[in-house]
Amino acid sequence: MISAGDFRNGVTLDIEGTVFQIIEFQHVKPGKGAAFVRTKLKNVVNGGVVERTFRPTEKFPQARIDRFDMQYLYNDGDLYNFMNTETYEQIALNSDTVGDALKFVKENEICKVCSISGSVFAVEPPLFVELEVTETEPGLKGDTSTGANKPAIVETGAQVAVPLFVNIGDKIKIDTRTGEYLSRV
Task: Kindly report, residue by residue over 20-42, the tens digit of the pLDDT.
Answer: 888 889 998 888 888 899 999 98
H helix intervals, 90-165: 95-98
**CATH 2.40.50.140 for the 128-184 domain, yes or no:** yes
Q: Of 2.60.120.10, 2.30.30.30, 2.40.50.140, 2.60.40.420, which CATH number belongs to 66-124?
A: 2.40.50.140
CATH topology of domain 2-60: SH3 type barrels. (2.30.30)
Task: Kindly report, residue by residue over 114-135, the tens digit of the pLDDT.
Answer: 888 777 877 888 889 899 999 9
| pLDDT of the residue at 146 | 66
Task: Report the candidate in 89, 96, 95 with the shortest Cα–Cα distance to residue 46.
Answer: 96
Return residue ranges of the chain for CATH 2.30.30.30: 2-60
| pLDDT of the residue at 15 | 87
| pLDDT of the residue at 171 | 92
